[in-house]
Amino acid sequence: MKHTLITLVWIGALWLSPLANSASPNQPQSEEISSAAKPATSNRSRAPALSYYDDPERMDALWGADRNQNGVRDDYEKAIASSSLPLAVKPYALAAGKVYAELIATAKPDFQVTPDNARFVLERLLLANACKREMQALHRGQAWQKSAFFDTWDRIEANHKLQSRLVRVVDEARIPYPTESPCTELLSLGAGL
């Protein structure tokens, strides 16, 4: 009886977890950022500052080196180049890295957190995710790991905090998940790579 109860509690927790509701790479995706994720007070033109990123040294560590100034952190670029990913996937992984860097750039003091700017960054993040799913479908589940870019505790935390801050200031109720040619569009964003 005790083991049955523990099993039922574990299954219930798993069922309620966000991972249980995620679609497999071959299923059509209907993700949206909804107004339910935003606080009741919307239509704010500016988000609160994140004091954590006021320290220039911490911001530099978060940003990382980009010696060739192509918009992608050098260590991520090297990790993709030396990975076992199919050659056809690597340009898309680098373009996604450019999008992830744009998210990190929202922590910089000169980034204006407006509804339009927030929506712009969030749309690009969804585009990178849609392309990743497309690559998984085309290449037997092989695609880049977002954790190759968000590879430290500070970067993982920044990924979540910065996305949450952007979602709070978006005026529209939903940002639709891209469905048509996401990889072609993503690659056009990273054309300078």
Question: How far, in Å, CA of 93 to CA of 112, rounded?
Answer: 27
66 close to 193: Cβ distance less than 8 angstroms: no
CA–CA separation, 102 vs 96, rounded Å? Answer: 10
188 has pLDDT over 80: yes
Question: What is the gyration radius of the CA atoms in the chain, in angstroms?
Answer: 18
Higher local confidence (pLDDT), 178 or 20:
178
Residue 44: what pLDDT?
42
Domain residue spans of the chain: 27-189
Confidence at 174, pLDDT banded by 50, 70, 90: confident
pLDDT on residue 50: 59
pLDDT score recorded for residue 45: 44
The pLDDT of residue 144 is 96
Model confidence over 31-46: pLDDT tens digits? 444 334 444 444 444 5
Percentage of residues in the chain having pLDDT higher than 90 = 48
Helix axes 90-105, 115-138, angle to 10 degrees: 160
What's this model's pTM, rounded to 2 decimal places? 0.72
Mind giving me the DSSP string for 83-146? S-S-TTTHHHHHHHHHHHHHHHHTTSTT----HHHHHHHHHHHHHHHHHHHHHHHHTTT----G
First-to-last CA distance in the chain? 59
Helix (H, G, I), strand (E, B) or coil at 176: strand
The region, left, alpha or beta by phi > 0 then psi within -120 to 50, assigned to residue 43 is left
| Structure token digits, residue 69 | 């100034």
The predicted-structure confidence for 157-171, as pLDDT tens digits, reads as follows 999 999 999 998 887
- 87 or 174, higher pLDDT: 87
pLDDT of 186 reads: 93
pLDDT in tens, 36-95: 444 444 444 455 555 557 677 788 888 899 999 998 999 999 999 999 999 999 999 999
pLDDT at 5 over 90: no
| Residue 166, token pair as written in the block | 């952007």
DSSP-derived secondary structure letter, 30: -
Region 131-138: mean pLDDT is 95
